[in-house]
Amino acid sequence: MIQEKKSATALLAIDRATSTPLYRQIYARFRAAIEQGVLHPGDRVASARDLASELGVSRGTIETAYNLLMGEGYFSSQGQAGTVVSPSLPAQRSARRERRRADAPTDRQALADARPPPPLQLGIPALDAFPRKLWARLTARRARAATPADMFYGDPSGYAPLRAAIAAYLAVSRGVSCHPSQVFVTGGYRASLALIAHTLLDKGDAVWVEDPGYPPTQEVLRSGGLRAVPVPVDDEGMVVARGVRKAAGARMAVVTPSHQAPLGVSMSLARRLQLLEWASRSKAWIVEDDYDGEYRYAGPPLPALKSLDGNDRVLYAGSFSKVLYPGLALGYVVAPESLCAAFATAAQTGSNGSPQITQAVVADFMRGGYFPRHLKKMRLLYARRRGILVAALLKTFGDEVRIDLKSGGMHLIARFDERTERDTELARRAQLAGLNCQPLSERGSAGFRDEGLLMGFTNVASSAQAQQLAVKLRKALGLR
Protein backbone atom coordinates (compact mmCIF):
# COMPACT_ATOMS: atom_id res chain seq x y z
CA MET A 1 0.00 0.00 0.00
CA ILE A 2 1.15 3.58 -0.58
CA GLN A 3 2.28 5.07 2.76
CA GLU A 4 -1.04 3.89 4.21
CA LYS A 5 -2.55 7.30 3.33
CA LYS A 6 -4.76 6.09 0.55
CA SER A 7 -5.19 2.66 -0.90
CA ALA A 8 -3.64 2.12 -4.30
CA THR A 9 -7.04 1.54 -5.84
CA ALA A 10 -8.31 4.87 -4.50
CA LEU A 11 -5.24 6.78 -5.65
CA LEU A 12 -4.62 4.94 -8.93
CA ALA A 13 -8.09 4.04 -10.20
CA ILE A 14 -7.60 3.01 -13.83
CA ASP A 15 -9.94 3.15 -16.79
CA ARG A 16 -9.78 0.05 -18.99
CA ALA A 17 -12.20 1.53 -21.51
CA THR A 18 -9.78 4.18 -22.83
CA SER A 19 -7.06 3.70 -25.42
CA THR A 20 -4.37 4.99 -23.01
CA PRO A 21 -2.12 2.06 -22.01
CA LEU A 22 -2.48 0.93 -18.40
CA TYR A 23 1.17 1.62 -17.59
CA ARG A 24 0.75 5.23 -18.81
CA GLN A 25 -2.33 5.70 -16.62
CA ILE A 26 -0.46 4.39 -13.57
CA TYR A 27 2.57 6.52 -14.39
CA ALA A 28 0.42 9.65 -14.80
CA ARG A 29 -1.44 9.11 -11.56
CA PHE A 30 1.73 8.60 -9.54
CA ARG A 31 3.25 11.74 -11.05
CA ALA A 32 0.13 13.76 -10.30
CA ALA A 33 0.07 12.46 -6.71
CA ILE A 34 3.67 13.57 -6.21
CA GLU A 35 3.18 17.00 -7.76
CA GLN A 36 -0.03 17.59 -5.78
CA GLY A 37 1.67 16.73 -2.51
CA VAL A 38 -0.26 13.54 -1.85
CA LEU A 39 3.00 11.62 -2.00
CA HIS A 40 6.12 13.23 -0.53
CA PRO A 41 9.88 12.75 -1.07
CA GLY A 42 10.99 9.66 0.84
CA ASP A 43 7.53 8.05 0.93
CA ARG A 44 7.69 4.34 0.23
CA VAL A 45 5.44 2.96 -2.50
CA ALA A 46 4.05 -0.54 -2.87
CA SER A 47 6.14 -3.25 -4.49
CA ALA A 48 5.33 -4.02 -8.11
CA ARG A 49 4.04 -7.45 -7.06
CA ASP A 50 1.67 -6.06 -4.40
CA LEU A 51 0.36 -3.22 -6.52
CA ALA A 52 -0.21 -5.50 -9.51
CA SER A 53 -2.27 -7.81 -7.31
CA GLU A 54 -4.33 -4.94 -5.91
CA LEU A 55 -5.04 -3.33 -9.27
CA GLY A 56 -5.58 -6.59 -11.11
CA VAL A 57 -2.92 -5.95 -13.77
CA SER A 58 0.26 -7.75 -14.70
CA ARG A 59 3.45 -7.22 -12.76
CA GLY A 60 5.14 -6.16 -16.00
CA THR A 61 2.67 -3.29 -16.38
CA ILE A 62 3.61 -1.94 -12.94
CA GLU A 63 7.33 -2.40 -13.55
CA THR A 64 7.07 -0.47 -16.83
CA ALA A 65 5.36 2.44 -15.05
CA TYR A 66 7.92 2.35 -12.21
CA ASN A 67 10.87 2.31 -14.64
CA LEU A 68 9.44 5.34 -16.42
CA LEU A 69 9.01 7.19 -13.11
CA MET A 70 12.56 6.33 -12.04
CA GLY A 71 13.90 7.43 -15.40
CA GLU A 72 12.30 10.86 -14.93
CA GLY A 73 13.53 11.22 -11.35
CA TYR A 74 10.21 10.75 -9.57
CA PHE A 75 11.10 7.37 -8.03
CA SER A 76 14.29 6.02 -6.53
CA SER A 77 15.19 2.38 -5.90
CA GLN A 78 16.46 1.69 -2.36
CA GLY A 79 17.44 -1.93 -2.92
CA GLN A 80 15.93 -4.25 -0.29
CA ALA A 81 14.16 -1.23 1.27
CA GLY A 82 12.00 -1.02 -1.85
CA THR A 83 11.02 1.89 -4.06
CA VAL A 84 10.46 5.41 -2.69
CA VAL A 85 9.50 8.81 -4.01
CA SER A 86 12.82 10.40 -4.86
CA PRO A 87 14.21 12.36 -1.87
CA SER A 88 15.94 14.75 -4.28
CA LEU A 89 13.20 15.95 -6.59
CA PRO A 90 14.15 18.96 -8.77
CA ALA A 91 13.67 22.30 -7.02
CA GLN A 92 10.81 23.42 -9.25
CA ARG A 93 8.86 20.27 -8.47
CA SER A 94 9.42 20.68 -4.74
CA ALA A 95 8.23 24.29 -4.88
CA ARG A 96 5.19 23.26 -6.85
CA ARG A 97 4.46 20.51 -4.35
CA GLU A 98 4.84 22.88 -1.40
CA ARG A 99 2.38 25.33 -2.92
CA ARG A 100 -0.18 22.56 -3.32
CA ARG A 101 0.42 21.38 0.24
CA ALA A 102 0.23 24.81 1.87
CA ASP A 103 -3.19 24.10 3.37
CA ALA A 104 -2.57 20.44 4.20
CA PRO A 105 -1.07 19.96 7.70
CA THR A 106 1.80 17.50 7.97
CA ASP A 107 2.38 15.14 10.89
CA ARG A 108 5.02 17.52 12.20
CA GLN A 109 2.64 20.48 11.91
CA ALA A 110 -0.07 18.51 13.68
CA LEU A 111 2.29 17.83 16.58
CA ALA A 112 3.24 21.50 16.70
CA ASP A 113 -0.44 22.45 16.81
CA ALA A 114 -1.07 20.14 19.78
CA ARG A 115 -0.66 22.69 22.55
CA PRO A 116 -1.66 22.55 26.20
CA PRO A 117 -4.94 24.23 27.14
CA PRO A 118 -4.73 28.02 27.61
CA PRO A 119 -4.40 29.41 31.15
CA LEU A 120 -7.58 29.42 33.26
CA GLN A 121 -9.31 26.93 30.92
CA LEU A 122 -12.40 25.41 32.54
CA GLY A 123 -12.94 21.74 33.17
CA ILE A 124 -9.40 20.48 32.53
CA PRO A 125 -7.70 18.39 35.24
CA ALA A 126 -4.10 19.04 36.26
CA LEU A 127 -2.39 17.52 33.25
CA ASP A 128 1.07 18.07 34.72
CA ALA A 129 0.15 15.92 37.74
CA PHE A 130 -1.18 12.93 35.80
CA PRO A 131 0.79 9.72 36.54
CA ARG A 132 2.16 9.33 33.01
CA LYS A 133 4.81 6.72 33.82
CA LEU A 134 2.33 4.47 35.59
CA TRP A 135 -0.19 4.92 32.77
CA ALA A 136 2.45 4.11 30.16
CA ARG A 137 3.40 0.95 32.05
CA LEU A 138 -0.21 -0.22 32.29
CA THR A 139 -0.80 0.56 28.62
CA ALA A 140 2.36 -1.24 27.49
CA ARG A 141 1.46 -4.29 29.55
CA ARG A 142 -1.98 -4.43 27.94
CA ALA A 143 -0.53 -4.00 24.46
CA ARG A 144 2.02 -6.77 24.96
CA ALA A 145 -0.62 -9.17 26.27
CA ALA A 146 -3.17 -8.43 23.52
CA THR A 147 -4.67 -11.49 21.85
CA PRO A 148 -6.64 -11.71 18.60
CA ALA A 149 -9.82 -11.73 20.69
CA ASP A 150 -8.80 -8.39 22.23
CA MET A 151 -8.61 -6.91 18.73
CA PHE A 152 -12.20 -7.82 17.90
CA TYR A 153 -15.26 -5.70 18.61
CA GLY A 154 -16.04 -5.60 22.30
CA ASP A 155 -19.36 -5.37 24.09
CA PRO A 156 -20.97 -2.03 23.07
CA SER A 157 -22.20 -1.72 26.66
CA GLY A 158 -18.62 -1.65 27.89
CA TYR A 159 -15.66 -3.79 28.89
CA ALA A 160 -16.91 -6.10 31.64
CA PRO A 161 -14.01 -5.60 34.12
CA LEU A 162 -14.33 -1.81 33.75
CA ARG A 163 -18.07 -1.94 34.39
CA ALA A 164 -17.38 -3.98 37.52
CA ALA A 165 -14.65 -1.56 38.66
CA ILE A 166 -16.95 1.44 38.18
CA ALA A 167 -19.75 -0.27 40.13
CA ALA A 168 -17.36 -1.04 43.01
CA TYR A 169 -16.00 2.51 43.07
CA LEU A 170 -19.47 4.09 43.07
CA ALA A 171 -20.69 1.85 45.89
CA VAL A 172 -17.83 2.87 48.17
CA SER A 173 -17.16 6.50 47.19
CA ARG A 174 -20.49 7.86 45.96
CA GLY A 175 -23.02 5.71 47.81
CA VAL A 176 -24.47 4.38 44.55
CA SER A 177 -25.41 0.72 44.84
CA CYS A 178 -25.55 -0.92 41.43
CA HIS A 179 -24.70 -4.14 39.63
CA PRO A 180 -22.08 -4.03 36.83
CA SER A 181 -24.84 -4.86 34.34
CA GLN A 182 -26.37 -1.45 35.13
CA VAL A 183 -23.19 0.38 34.09
CA PHE A 184 -22.91 1.38 30.43
CA VAL A 185 -19.61 2.77 29.18
CA THR A 186 -19.87 5.64 26.68
CA GLY A 187 -17.71 8.11 24.80
CA GLY A 188 -18.19 10.82 27.45
CA TYR A 189 -20.93 12.99 28.92
CA ARG A 190 -22.45 14.04 25.61
CA ALA A 191 -22.62 10.43 24.48
CA SER A 192 -24.14 9.43 27.82
CA LEU A 193 -26.86 12.06 27.61
CA ALA A 194 -27.57 11.21 23.97
CA LEU A 195 -27.89 7.51 24.88
CA ILE A 196 -30.29 8.32 27.72
CA ALA A 197 -32.40 10.63 25.58
CA HIS A 198 -32.54 8.16 22.69
CA THR A 199 -33.56 5.31 24.99
CA LEU A 200 -36.15 7.07 27.16
CA LEU A 201 -37.56 10.12 25.37
CA ASP A 202 -39.53 10.98 22.25
CA LYS A 203 -39.03 13.96 20.00
CA GLY A 204 -40.74 17.04 21.36
CA ASP A 205 -40.53 15.94 25.01
CA ALA A 206 -39.71 18.68 27.53
CA VAL A 207 -36.60 18.38 29.69
CA TRP A 208 -35.76 20.59 32.66
CA VAL A 209 -32.24 22.01 32.53
CA GLU A 210 -30.49 24.20 35.05
CA ASP A 211 -30.44 27.98 34.50
CA PRO A 212 -27.55 28.83 34.39
CA GLY A 213 -26.18 25.51 33.28
CA TYR A 214 -23.72 23.54 31.19
CA PRO A 215 -24.13 24.55 27.50
CA PRO A 216 -23.51 21.09 25.95
CA THR A 217 -26.53 19.73 27.82
CA GLN A 218 -28.92 21.89 25.83
CA GLU A 219 -26.98 21.26 22.61
CA VAL A 220 -27.37 17.48 22.96
CA LEU A 221 -31.05 17.70 23.86
CA ARG A 222 -31.93 20.04 21.02
CA SER A 223 -30.01 17.94 18.50
CA GLY A 224 -32.25 15.06 19.53
CA GLY A 225 -35.41 17.06 18.88
CA LEU A 226 -36.15 17.65 22.57
CA ARG A 227 -37.35 20.85 24.24
CA ALA A 228 -34.95 22.18 26.88
CA VAL A 229 -36.79 24.14 29.59
CA PRO A 230 -34.48 26.40 31.67
CA VAL A 231 -35.29 26.18 35.40
CA PRO A 232 -33.68 28.71 37.77
CA VAL A 233 -31.01 27.68 40.27
CA ASP A 234 -30.72 29.31 43.70
CA ASP A 235 -28.51 28.63 46.72
CA GLU A 236 -30.19 25.24 47.21
CA GLY A 237 -30.00 24.07 43.62
CA MET A 238 -32.67 23.72 40.94
CA VAL A 239 -35.94 25.38 42.03
CA VAL A 240 -38.30 22.46 41.51
CA ALA A 241 -41.44 24.54 42.07
CA ARG A 242 -40.46 26.81 39.18
CA GLY A 243 -39.90 23.79 36.98
CA VAL A 244 -43.39 22.52 37.75
CA ARG A 245 -44.86 25.92 36.85
CA LYS A 246 -42.92 26.16 33.60
CA ALA A 247 -43.35 22.56 32.36
CA ALA A 248 -45.26 20.28 34.71
CA GLY A 249 -45.33 17.54 32.08
CA ALA A 250 -41.57 17.42 31.54
CA ARG A 251 -40.27 13.89 30.99
CA MET A 252 -36.81 14.46 32.46
CA ALA A 253 -34.63 16.81 34.50
CA VAL A 254 -30.85 17.11 34.08
CA VAL A 255 -29.08 18.35 37.21
CA THR A 256 -25.59 18.71 38.72
CA PRO A 257 -26.48 18.32 42.42
CA SER A 258 -23.03 17.79 43.97
CA HIS A 259 -21.49 20.91 42.46
CA GLN A 260 -23.76 22.90 40.21
CA ALA A 261 -22.26 23.96 36.88
CA PRO A 262 -21.42 26.84 36.87
CA LEU A 263 -22.57 28.43 40.18
CA GLY A 264 -20.94 25.76 42.33
CA VAL A 265 -23.79 25.38 44.84
CA SER A 266 -24.69 21.95 46.25
CA MET A 267 -28.32 20.89 46.09
CA SER A 268 -29.82 20.84 49.58
CA LEU A 269 -31.34 17.66 51.01
CA ALA A 270 -34.80 19.24 51.00
CA ARG A 271 -34.49 20.15 47.33
CA ARG A 272 -33.16 16.70 46.45
CA LEU A 273 -36.14 15.03 48.10
CA GLN A 274 -38.49 17.45 46.36
CA LEU A 275 -36.98 16.62 42.97
CA LEU A 276 -37.17 12.88 43.62
CA GLU A 277 -40.79 13.19 44.71
CA TRP A 278 -41.65 15.08 41.51
CA ALA A 279 -40.00 12.42 39.35
CA SER A 280 -41.79 9.60 41.14
CA ARG A 281 -45.17 11.32 40.97
CA SER A 282 -44.79 12.36 37.32
CA LYS A 283 -43.13 9.12 36.14
CA ALA A 284 -40.29 11.32 34.92
CA TRP A 285 -36.54 10.69 34.92
CA ILE A 286 -33.64 12.52 36.52
CA VAL A 287 -30.17 12.58 35.00
CA GLU A 288 -27.56 13.22 37.68
CA ASP A 289 -24.47 14.67 36.03
CA ASP A 290 -21.81 14.12 38.70
CA TYR A 291 -19.11 15.76 36.60
CA ASP A 292 -16.73 16.79 39.42
CA GLY A 293 -18.42 15.55 42.58
CA GLU A 294 -15.15 14.00 43.77
CA TYR A 295 -13.56 17.42 44.27
CA ARG A 296 -14.79 18.83 47.55
CA TYR A 297 -12.41 20.82 49.74
CA ALA A 298 -14.48 21.23 52.90
CA GLY A 299 -15.56 17.89 54.34
CA PRO A 300 -15.99 14.57 52.52
CA PRO A 301 -17.58 14.34 49.06
CA LEU A 302 -21.36 14.51 49.19
CA PRO A 303 -23.32 11.32 48.51
CA ALA A 304 -24.84 11.15 45.07
CA LEU A 305 -28.48 11.99 44.48
CA LYS A 306 -28.80 8.46 43.14
CA SER A 307 -28.07 7.12 46.65
CA LEU A 308 -31.42 8.61 47.82
CA ASP A 309 -33.38 7.20 44.88
CA GLY A 310 -35.87 4.70 46.28
CA ASN A 311 -38.06 4.57 43.16
CA ASP A 312 -35.42 4.02 40.45
CA ARG A 313 -36.00 7.34 38.68
CA VAL A 314 -32.36 8.56 38.63
CA LEU A 315 -29.78 7.82 35.95
CA TYR A 316 -26.27 8.57 37.16
CA ALA A 317 -23.80 9.94 34.58
CA GLY A 318 -20.07 10.09 35.30
CA SER A 319 -16.99 10.91 33.26
CA PHE A 320 -13.27 10.21 33.37
CA SER A 321 -12.52 13.50 31.61
CA LYS A 322 -12.35 15.48 34.85
CA VAL A 323 -10.69 12.86 37.03
CA LEU A 324 -8.10 11.43 34.60
CA TYR A 325 -7.78 13.35 31.34
CA PRO A 326 -10.22 14.47 28.60
CA GLY A 327 -8.39 12.70 25.77
CA LEU A 328 -9.69 9.38 27.12
CA ALA A 329 -13.18 10.30 25.90
CA LEU A 330 -14.78 7.86 28.34
CA GLY A 331 -17.91 8.25 30.42
CA TYR A 332 -20.56 5.99 31.87
CA VAL A 333 -24.23 5.79 32.76
CA VAL A 334 -25.76 3.86 35.64
CA ALA A 335 -29.27 2.89 34.57
CA PRO A 336 -32.08 1.54 36.76
CA GLU A 337 -32.17 -2.25 36.69
CA SER A 338 -35.53 -2.21 34.92
CA LEU A 339 -33.98 -0.34 31.98
CA CYS A 340 -30.88 -2.49 31.46
CA ALA A 341 -32.32 -4.39 28.50
CA ALA A 342 -33.43 -1.20 26.78
CA PHE A 343 -30.04 0.44 27.26
CA ALA A 344 -28.19 -2.65 26.06
CA THR A 345 -30.27 -2.65 22.88
CA ALA A 346 -29.70 1.08 22.33
CA ALA A 347 -25.95 0.66 22.87
CA GLN A 348 -25.87 -2.29 20.45
CA THR A 349 -27.66 -0.41 17.67
CA GLY A 350 -26.02 2.97 18.15
CA SER A 351 -22.33 2.25 18.66
CA ASN A 352 -19.49 -0.21 18.36
CA GLY A 353 -18.38 0.86 21.82
CA SER A 354 -15.24 2.58 23.06
CA PRO A 355 -11.73 1.19 22.33
CA GLN A 356 -11.19 -2.02 24.28
CA ILE A 357 -7.58 -1.37 25.20
CA THR A 358 -8.42 2.06 26.60
CA GLN A 359 -11.18 0.60 28.74
CA ALA A 360 -8.86 -2.19 29.89
CA VAL A 361 -6.18 0.26 31.01
CA VAL A 362 -8.72 2.31 32.96
CA ALA A 363 -9.99 -0.90 34.56
CA ASP A 364 -6.42 -1.85 35.55
CA PHE A 365 -5.90 1.64 36.98
CA MET A 366 -9.04 1.33 39.09
CA ARG A 367 -8.62 -2.28 40.18
CA GLY A 368 -4.96 -1.70 41.07
CA GLY A 369 -5.94 0.82 43.74
CA TYR A 370 -4.44 3.76 41.84
CA PHE A 371 -7.73 5.56 41.21
CA PRO A 372 -8.65 6.56 44.80
CA ARG A 373 -5.01 7.42 45.44
CA HIS A 374 -5.01 9.70 42.40
CA LEU A 375 -8.25 11.40 43.46
CA LYS A 376 -6.90 12.06 46.96
CA LYS A 377 -3.76 13.58 45.47
CA MET A 378 -5.81 15.78 43.13
CA ARG A 379 -8.12 17.02 45.91
CA LEU A 380 -5.12 18.21 47.94
CA LEU A 381 -3.45 19.69 44.87
CA TYR A 382 -6.57 21.54 43.68
CA ALA A 383 -7.25 22.99 47.12
CA ARG A 384 -3.72 24.43 47.12
CA ARG A 385 -3.93 25.70 43.52
CA ARG A 386 -7.28 27.32 44.16
CA GLY A 387 -5.78 29.07 47.17
CA ILE A 388 -2.81 30.47 45.29
CA LEU A 389 -4.97 31.80 42.44
CA VAL A 390 -7.36 33.45 44.89
CA ALA A 391 -4.43 35.02 46.76
CA ALA A 392 -2.95 36.35 43.50
CA LEU A 393 -6.25 37.84 42.35
CA LEU A 394 -6.86 39.56 45.69
CA LYS A 395 -3.30 40.88 45.78
CA THR A 396 -3.55 42.24 42.23
CA PHE A 397 -7.12 43.58 42.22
CA GLY A 398 -7.77 44.23 45.90
CA ASP A 399 -11.31 45.51 46.54
CA GLU A 400 -12.03 45.61 42.80
CA VAL A 401 -12.69 41.87 42.73
CA ARG A 402 -14.99 39.62 44.71
CA ILE A 403 -14.18 35.90 44.62
CA ASP A 404 -17.15 33.56 44.82
CA LEU A 405 -15.82 30.34 46.38
CA LYS A 406 -17.85 27.23 47.05
CA SER A 407 -16.92 24.02 48.83
CA GLY A 408 -15.74 22.15 45.76
CA GLY A 409 -15.25 22.09 42.01
CA MET A 410 -12.54 22.97 39.51
CA HIS A 411 -13.26 26.65 38.89
CA LEU A 412 -14.03 29.88 40.72
CA ILE A 413 -16.11 32.95 39.86
CA ALA A 414 -14.46 36.38 39.95
CA ARG A 415 -16.92 39.27 40.10
CA PHE A 416 -15.95 42.82 39.17
CA ASP A 417 -18.99 44.59 40.54
CA GLU A 418 -17.72 48.15 40.01
CA ARG A 419 -16.97 47.72 36.32
CA THR A 420 -19.44 49.17 33.86
CA GLU A 421 -18.60 46.66 31.12
CA ARG A 422 -20.57 43.44 30.80
CA ASP A 423 -18.82 40.22 31.74
CA THR A 424 -18.94 39.24 28.06
CA GLU A 425 -16.70 42.21 27.24
CA LEU A 426 -14.33 41.47 30.12
CA ALA A 427 -14.09 37.85 28.97
CA ARG A 428 -13.41 38.96 25.40
CA ARG A 429 -10.51 41.14 26.55
CA ALA A 430 -9.09 38.34 28.69
CA GLN A 431 -9.32 35.86 25.81
CA LEU A 432 -7.54 38.26 23.47
CA ALA A 433 -4.71 38.25 26.02
CA GLY A 434 -4.61 34.44 25.97
CA LEU A 435 -6.55 33.86 29.20
CA ASN A 436 -9.52 31.56 28.73
CA CYS A 437 -11.96 33.24 31.12
CA GLN A 438 -15.63 32.62 30.36
CA PRO A 439 -18.58 34.96 31.04
CA LEU A 440 -21.07 33.64 33.58
CA SER A 441 -23.97 35.46 31.93
CA GLU A 442 -23.71 33.36 28.77
CA ARG A 443 -24.37 30.19 30.76
CA GLY A 444 -27.94 31.30 31.47
CA SER A 445 -31.15 31.96 29.57
CA ALA A 446 -32.25 35.35 28.24
CA GLY A 447 -33.66 36.27 31.64
CA PHE A 448 -30.49 35.39 33.58
CA ARG A 449 -28.76 38.51 34.94
CA ASP A 450 -25.86 37.32 37.10
CA GLU A 451 -22.36 38.22 35.88
CA GLY A 452 -18.76 37.22 36.57
CA LEU A 453 -15.71 35.57 35.04
CA LEU A 454 -15.36 31.80 35.29
CA MET A 455 -11.76 30.72 35.80
CA GLY A 456 -10.30 27.23 36.00
CA PHE A 457 -7.52 26.91 38.58
CA THR A 458 -6.45 23.27 38.26
CA ASN A 459 -3.50 23.96 35.94
CA VAL A 460 -2.13 26.98 37.83
CA ALA A 461 1.04 25.27 38.99
CA SER A 462 2.70 27.84 41.27
CA SER A 463 2.28 31.11 43.16
CA ALA A 464 4.56 32.80 40.65
CA GLN A 465 2.45 31.64 37.71
CA ALA A 466 -0.75 32.70 39.51
CA GLN A 467 0.68 36.18 40.07
CA GLN A 468 1.74 36.47 36.42
CA LEU A 469 -1.76 35.47 35.29
CA ALA A 470 -3.42 37.95 37.65
CA VAL A 471 -1.21 40.81 36.43
CA LYS A 472 -1.86 39.83 32.82
CA LEU A 473 -5.60 39.78 33.49
CA ARG A 474 -5.50 43.22 35.08
CA LYS A 475 -3.73 44.65 32.05
CA ALA A 476 -6.16 42.90 29.70
CA LEU A 477 -9.11 44.46 31.52
CA GLY A 478 -7.60 47.91 31.08
CA LEU A 479 -6.62 48.48 34.71
CA ARG A 480 -3.32 50.03 35.73
Q: Mean pLDDT check: name the lowest of 102-106, 343-347, 386-390.
A: 102-106
Whether residues 364 and 385 share a domain: the answer is no
Residues 347, 388: one domain?
A: no
Question: Rounded to 5 degrees, what angle do the CA atoms 359, 361, 363 make?
Answer: 70
| Cβ atoms 217, 261 nearer than 8 A | no
310 and 398 in one domain? no
DSSP percent split of the chain into helix, strand, coil, nearest 5:
50, 15, 40
Give the C-alpha distances (Å, rounded to integers) separating 293 from 210, 288, 401.
17, 11, 27
Q: Is there a single domain that holds both residue 339 and residue 383?
A: no
Q: Which of 51, 80, 108 is a domain's end point?
A: 108
Q: Is residue 19 located within the same domain as residue 90?
A: yes
Question: Position 13: which residue type?
Answer: A
Residue 83 and residue 221 in one domain: no
Asked if the structure places residue 406 within a domain, the reply is yes
Domain's final residue, options 332, 352, 368: 368
Task: Give the range of the structural domain holding residue 391, as residue numbers without chain letter.
Answer: 373-476
CATH number for position 187: 3.40.640.10
- Total domains, the chain: 3
In a domain, 130, yes or no: no
**pLDDT tens digits along 449-480:** 899 999 999 999 999 999 999 999 999 998 76
pLDDT tens-digit map of 54-64: 888 899 988 89
Same domain, yes or no: 99 and 164: no
Q: Are residues 71 and 195 in the same domain?
A: no
Q: Give the CATH number, domain containing residue 409.
A: 3.90.1150.10
* 61 shares its domain with 194: no
Q: What integer pLDDT is reported at residue 352 of this predicted model?
A: 87
- Return the percentage of the chain with pLDDT > 70, whole number: 91
Looking at the structure, tell me whether residues 276 and 388 fall in a common domain. Answer: no
Considering the domain boundaries, does residue 144 fall inside one? no
Same domain for 394 and 357: no
**In a shared domain, residues 247 and 350:** yes
What is the average pLDDT across 184-209? 97
As a whole number of angstroms, the longest Cα–Cα distance in the chain is 83
- Note the pTM of the prediction, 2 decimals: 0.82
